[in-house]
Chain A
């Protein structure tokens, strides 16, 4: 078990460009979460998947954001037409199942800088 991995670790892009991040959860975990963290703040929930089904999306997730988990394994988060306000750390987490009984493990994050 290698833990949750995320790629790339850093991404610098120009405003208006599209970017895509990848998350590979712990292999037996059914739940996969995306969070966003800005400097000096705690992570904020964006969306989560149960297997391949996207069950909830935060109001923070504008229509420029889309997330997928096509085979219930890895997930991608795409941001279209990036804006400077999208600059943040994007964190992925996974857990065995839903409910407060299960620990949620985080990846190292992808730091996005929009110039």
Chain B
């Protein structure tokens, strides 16, 4: 079965610093989703990547899917306290059902 591993598990950065979160899959990814979650709340959709080499940006967040489609990275530029939360990557392992498998998440804290 497919597994997703996220690194780091937690991260504390000073406001204004850049950071990167990685998501590695044990199998080829047909679709890779990035979500953000505040503690005790639902998941907020950030971005979806499908094609190898694809890169998407929204405001100060950029996500990439590598050519082999087994790893994705999420990069935040000039972090702000509003970026704090849990970042989750989710993957569709079959490309058909859209049933997502998730990593364990990366907890991000941004110190003012």
Residues of A within 8 A of B (CB): 4, 6, 31, 33, 35, 40-45, 48, 55-56, 89, 91, 93, 95, 98-109, 111
A35 contacts across to B, CB distance below 8 A: 100
Question: Do A42 and B102 contact each other (CB < 8 Å), given the known contacts A91-B43, A103-B45, A103-B48?
Answer: yes
Say whether B99 faces chain A, with CB atoms less than 8 Å apart. Answer: yes
- Are B50 and A101 interface neighbours, CB within 8 A? yes
The 0/1 profile, CB within 8 Å of A marked 1, for residues 21-53 of chain B is 000000000110101000011111100101000
Among candidates A41, A48, A100, residue contacting B95 with C-beta atoms closer than 8 Å: A100
Question: Do A33 and B99 contact each other (CB < 8 Å), given the known contacts A42-B90, A106-B35?
Answer: yes
Among candidates B96, B103, B104, B105, residue contacting A99 with C-beta atoms closer than 8 Å: B96
Residues of B within 8 A of A (CB): 4, 30-31, 33, 35, 40-45, 48, 50, 88, 90, 92, 95-105
Question: Do A111 and B99 contact each other (CB < 8 Å), given the known contacts A100-B92, A103-B45, A106-B35?
Answer: no
Among candidates B30, B45, B88, B97, residue contacting A105 with C-beta atoms closer than 8 Å: B45
- Tell me, rounded to whole Å, the shortest Cβ–Cβ distance linking A110 to chain B: 10
A43 to B99, CA, bound (A): 11
- Are B43 and A95 interface neighbours, CB within 8 A? no
- Are B31 and A111 interface neighbours, CB within 8 A? no
Question: Do A45 and B99 contact each other (CB < 8 Å), given the known contacts A100-B31, A106-B43, A108-B41?
Answer: yes
Among candidates A99, A103, A108, residue contacting B42 with C-beta atoms closer than 8 Å: A108
- Are A43 and B96 interface neighbours, CB within 8 A? no
**Additional pairs, 18, CB under 8 Å, beyond known A103-B45, A109-B41:** A4-B42, A6-B42, A40-B104, A42-B4, A42-B102, A42-B104, A45-B99, A45-B101, A48-B97, A99-B95, A99-B96, A100-B95, A103-B48, A104-B33, A104-B100, A105-B45, A106-B44, A107-B42
Question: Do A100 and B30 contact each other (CB < 8 Å), given the known contacts A106-B42, A106-B45, A109-B41?
Answer: yes
